[in-house]
A and B are shown apart, each in its own frame.
Chain A
Amino acid sequence: METLDLLAQGFQVALTPTNLLFALVGVTVGTLVGVLPGLGPSGALAILLPTTYQASPVSSIIMLAGIYHGAMYGGSTTSVLVNIPGEASSVVTCLDGYQMARRGRAGPALGMAAFASFIAGTLSLVGLILLAPPLAAFALRFGPTEYFALMVAGLVILSYMTHGSMVKGLMMAAAGLVLGTVGLDTITGRPRFTFGLTELSDGIGFLPMAMGLFGIAEVLVGLEGGEKRDVYTGRLHGLLPTRRDWSESGLPIARGSVIGFLLGILPGGGAVLSSFVSYAVERRLARRPEEFGKGAIAGLAGPEAANNAGSTGAFIPMLSLGIPSNSATAILLGALLIYGVQPGPLLMRTHPDLFWGVVASMYLGNLMLLMLNLPLIGLWVRLLRVPYDYLFPAILLFCLVGVYSVNNSTTEVLLMVAFGLLGYLLRKAGFDPAPMVLALILGPMLELNFRQALILSQGDLTAFVRHPIAAVLLLVAAVLLVLPIVQDLSRKKGDRHA
């Protein structure tokens, strides 16, 4: 009951006209910035942080949280409309969201993304309110051994990601793992495959790779012409999800919310995994898995729910332990310090108005995002009617500016162009780039945690089965890997008998 009182107080804080205004400005600006490719939540936060100096800490954090959520949402919009993932979590949104847009269903795709995000946001805020402290304590038990097992499970799940040839998918994942080894070796500090270039010492960035493989390659394929998109299927229907869309999306949203929330709590890597774990789960459970990758709405709704729940879950270690779980929450933490608020386990006690005010405003922010985005869908869809002659150069320009703006690095711009050419060739050869991008993210984490775990266990490999959480995760991974093979074999056996 005490929690509810505090929450009510939080709403009192969040519902003051000033704070409402700050939340509204935050989600609006966040959405706009998020729609620009490249500038994801962390870029938006870093740029807009100084504009909040004059306000009170509570108002500032409310606005910054709004920017964070808005930018996450805006990122999905570009994934659906032009196949450019602005964040690791929206790579998966590209897979089916963009295919829906290609089939003239951009409206329902954007609408479902908005609804799924809202529902997941609501559910995960309830989780945050009820479970924050015990969950944060549990997340601390994840050490290198447990993370290694989690990443292994994540990599196994990658093989479920692709449509079409599984061998090609695994080849892409392997290529991604190899590319992930570029950069300074974290354990020894020695450069690997950097060819003496200082710019490569932090490895190949996710953004130049993803924007090149998806965005630029899409433009190159489009330049060939011949591909027709229908943008509108009708004026009246087609903007919002249909009843059938809803019945196909309900359970995926619920499952996505739970997956996203639980993985989002883990500092470091959890939130990234959430959207594609959700995708893999939905594909596994779908009645017609062959539709995935061709515009299945469940393949959009689940991951969208998961990434929104994940970004809310990520606030738990930040608000209750002072540990940021991604670069965007790291900036929020830095902002708290500049306002003179010491984040960490004591935040709830020393600044209850701030903690609960932010929680309440996150909910209001989600609501505002929904209200803001539904009317905007028509506008976004109309954007697709812009002739290619204008749209393609604009996409290229936004990609170039977007990638440059993140780290102010021309090397990353060149990398993006190179990946664009590679993406074009891959597309021609029938390879799906998604596993490569995800493997690039997972590979370095997998390696680092594996080596940390072995340093801690003095080289003893049995550590991975002696830690219960790790053992369970590895078991899940083994089952996931073996199950399809067994099913395949028994099916073949059945064929022979028949």
Chain B
Amino acid sequence: MRRRIALLAAVLVGSLAATARADDFPSRAITLIIPTSPGGSASVSGQIIAEALKRELKQSVLIVYKPGAAQALGTEQVLKSRPDGYTLGWTFEPDLASKMVADGKSLSFGKGDLVHLGAAGFAPYFLWVKADAPWKTLDELVAAGKQKGISYSSSGVATMGHVYAEMFVRRAGIKATHVPYQGGGPATTALLGGHVDMSVGSYGRMKQYMDSNLVRPLAILVDERLPDLAEVPTLEERGLDLPIQGQIYHHLFGPKGMPPAVVETITSAFERAVRDPATQQALVKAGFDGRWLSAKATEEAWLKDFAIVEEALSQIK
């Protein structure tokens, strides 16, 4: 009996040691937690990245959706998991930063608790109006907004669509009414149906409606024109620059305390995964651009976004 217990203990200790050993990482499947519902932008980019990581790491990458509380629930689950590199998260930025600023007090984690491993799946935001709207240019929209006010839809309070639109509205000195919807789909529907005048949305989501002549872009919210839409001006060119690059991107992160060798393995696999031509093609087809950010650059971008959103939300409230 005693020998059996000793044997069992040895096996247990052995298996613990096996999971803690970093040099053979990864020796089993990796869980990638996506804290949104399946179907959205994080799930589309996340599945592309998971496939690519699987090829690079030669291990399965299992996606687990853990939606709720604007990504906070899933993020929390990643941060509470054992820091061995086998549980990672893929969130949709800077929406998470915005949620953390808005509800920081009720959350169990802070901006410094995420270990960033890299970012990909970038898509710039545009200002959109309905194709048959009377405003043909940004200046006309701004003039109308100053004169009689406009309404705009967003996918929810303190989401980036809301924050970016509010930054624009304030910068331009427009009178605007914000109508929050639940998610990007309903917010887009409200614009297509003419229930609101304007919406801020990513190129990936809105391209289909632009191609079928239902909506029109009036400006791009990053500082560079998009080659596909070279005729659409940037806000900066019109003297209405925002304090932030108006875009979404997604980042890979894990909990604090992962062994440095594991972090190194994941970050380099992630870089190769994103730069793989197959991944690049898949990202572009799904409406993203193929950019990749290193772990360090992601961390810097995250802290910068955080500070800007903090500032912006304090003004909105």
A350 to B, closest residue via Cβ: B211
- Nearest Cβ distance between residue A192 and chain B, in whole angstroms? 13
User: A408 contacts which chain B residues (CB < 8 A)?
Assistant: 64-66, 77
- B282 interface residue (CB < 8 Å to A): yes
Q: Given B77, B195, B211, B285, which contacts A456 in the complex, CB threshold below 8 Å?
A: B195
Given contacts A189-B157, A345-B212, whether A42 and B38 have CB atoms under 8 Å apart is: yes
Tell me which of B48, B72, B195, B212 contacts A198 (CB under 8 A): B72
- Residue pair A267, B208 in contact (C-beta under 8 Å): no
Looking at A71-79, A141-149, A233-241, the stretch in contact with chain B turns out to be A141-149
Is B214 an interface position by the 8 A CB rule?
Answer: yes
Among B68, B208, B211, B286, point to the contact of A407 (Cβ < 8 A): B68
How far apart are the CA atoms of A323 and B192 in the complex, in Å? 10
A49 within 8 A of B: yes
Interface centre among A45, A199, A344 (most CB of B within 10 A): A344
Determine if A290 is an interface residue (Cβ-Cβ < 8 Å): no
* B169-189 interface with A by 8 A CB criterion: 177-182, 185-186, 188-189
Q: How many A-B residue pairs have CB under 8 A?
A: 141
Report if B287 contacts A (CB, 8 A). yes
- CB of B39 within 8 Å of the partner chain: yes
Residues of B within 8 A of A186 (CB): 156-157, 180, 182
Residues of B with C-beta under 8 A to A191:
103, 106
A84 to B141, CA, bound (A): 52
Nearest B residue to A197 by beta-carbon distance?
B106
- The interface on chain A, measured as residues whose beta carbon lies within 8 A of the other chain's beta carbons, has a size of 50
Kindly state whether residue A226 has any CB partner on chain B within 8 Å: no
B208 touches which of A143, A202, A322, A340 (Cβ 8 Å) = A322
Asked whether any CB of chain B lies closer than 8 Å to the CB of A342, the reply is: yes
Cβ–Cβ < 8 Å partners of A407 in chain B: 65-68
Which residues of chain B are near A346, meaning CB under 8 Å?
208, 211-212
Q: Which of B157, B181, B192 contacts A452 (CB 8 A)?
A: B181
Chain B residue numbers with a CB within 8 Å of A409 are: 66, 68, 73
Residue of B nearest to A140 (CB): B193
CB of B126 to closest CB in A, whole Å? 16
Contacts of B106 in A (CB 8 A): 191, 196, 198, 201
Q: Whole-angstrom distance between the alpha carbons of A332 and B40 in the complex?
A: 11
Q: Do the beta carbons of A267 and B157 come within 8 Å of each other?
A: no
Interface residues of B in 45-102 (CB under 8 A from A): 47-48, 51, 63-69, 72-73, 76-77, 102
Asked if A452 and B179 make an inter-chain contact with CB atoms under 8 angstroms apart, the answer reads: yes
Given contacts A143-B193, A201-B69, A338-B48, contact A327 B39 (CB under 8 A): yes
B69 contacts A202, CB within 8 Å?
Answer: yes
Cβ-defined partner of A333 (8 Å) among B39, B182, B190, B212? B39
Interface residues on B, range: 35 or more
Q: What are the residues of chain A within 8 A of B178 when measuring CB–CB?
A: 455
Using known A-B contacts A337-B44, A340-B285, determine if residue A323 contacts B188 with beta carbons closer than 8 Å: yes
Are B39 and A331 interface neighbours, CB within 8 A?
Answer: yes
**A129 touches B (CB below 8 Å):** no
B298 is an interface residue with CB less than 8 A from chain A = no
The contact of B195 among A49, A144, A448, by CB within 8 Å, is A144
Query: When the two chains form the complex, which single residue of A140, A337, A340, A455 contacts B189, counting CB atoms closer than 8 Å?
Result: A140
Judging by beta carbons under 8 Å apart, are A323 and B157 in contact? Answer: no
- For residue B83, give the distance in angstroms from its CB to the closest CB of chain A: 20
Please give, as numbers and ranges, the residues of chain B lying within 8 Å of A332 by CB-CB distance.
39
Residue A252 CB within 8 A of the other chain:
no
Neighbouring B residues of A378 by C-beta, 8 Å: none
**Contact B193 A268, beta carbon cutoff 8 Å:** no
Query: Which residue in A49, A198, A268 is a CB contact (below 8 Å) of B76?
Result: A198
A111: Cβ under 8 A from any B Cβ: no
Q: What does the 1/0 interface line of A261-280 toward B look like (CB < 8 Å)?
A: 00000011000000000000
Q: Is A343 an interface residue (CB 8 A)?
A: yes
Q: Which residues of A contact B294 (CB under 8 A)?
A: none
Report if A201-B193 is in contact (Cβ < 8 Å); known contacts: A334-B40, A455-B177. Answer: no
98-120 of chain B: CB within 8 A of chain A = 102-103, 106-108
Closest A residue to B182 by beta carbon equals A186
Q: Mark B181-207, 1 if CB is under 8 A from A, else 0.
A: 110011011101111100000000001
CA of A196 to CA of B72, assembled, Å: 13
B15, CB-defined interface residue at 8 Å: no
Rounded to whole angstroms, the CA-CA distance of A143 and B181 in the bound complex is 11
In the complex, chain A residues 326-366 whose Cβ is within 8 Å of any chain B Cβ: 327, 330-334, 337-338, 340, 342-346
B245: Cβ under 8 A from any A Cβ: no
A408 to B66: give the CA distance in the assembly, Å. Answer: 6
Measured CB to CB, the closest approach of chain A to B180, in angstroms, equals: 6
Nearest CB in chain B: distance from A136 CB, A? 10
Residues of B within 8 A of A340 (CB): 282, 285-286
Which residues 185-215 of A have a CB within 8 angstroms of B?
186-189, 191, 196, 198-199, 201-202
A188–B102 Cα distance when bound, in Å, is 11
Pairwise interchain contact B68-A199, C-beta atoms closer than 8 A = yes
Q: Which residues of A contact B76 (CB under 8 A)?
A: 198
Q: Is A53 an interface residue (CB 8 A)?
A: yes
Neighbouring A residues of B156 by C-beta, 8 Å: 186, 189
A324, A331, A334, A346 — most chain B CB neighbours (10 Å): A334
Query: Which A residues are CB-close (under 8 A) to B48?
Result: 338
Point out the residues of chain A lying under 8 angstroms from B77, CB to CB.
408
With A186-B157, A448-B182: A140-B69 Cβ-Cβ less than 8 Å: no
- Flag if B209 contacts A46 (CB, 8 Å): no
CA A187 – CA B158 in complex, angstroms? 10
Ordered by A's residue number, 6 sampled pairs between the chains whose C-beta atoms are within 8 Å are A186-B157, A201-B68, A330-B185, A331-B39, A337-B44, A408-B65
Q: Chain A: residues with CB nearer than 8 A to chain B?
A: 42, 45-46, 49-50, 53, 140-144, 184, 186-189, 191, 196, 198-199, 201-202, 267-268, 321-324, 327, 330-334, 337-338, 340, 342-346, 407-409, 448, 452, 455-456, 458
B residues contacting A by CB (< 8 A) are 37-40, 43-44, 47-48, 51, 63-69, 72-73, 76-77, 102-103, 106-108, 151, 156-158, 177-182, 185-186, 188-190, 192-196, 207-209, 211-212, 214, 282, 285-287
5 A-B pairs with the lowest CB-CB distances in the bound complex, closest first: A344-B208, A189-B157, A330-B39, A340-B285, A143-B195
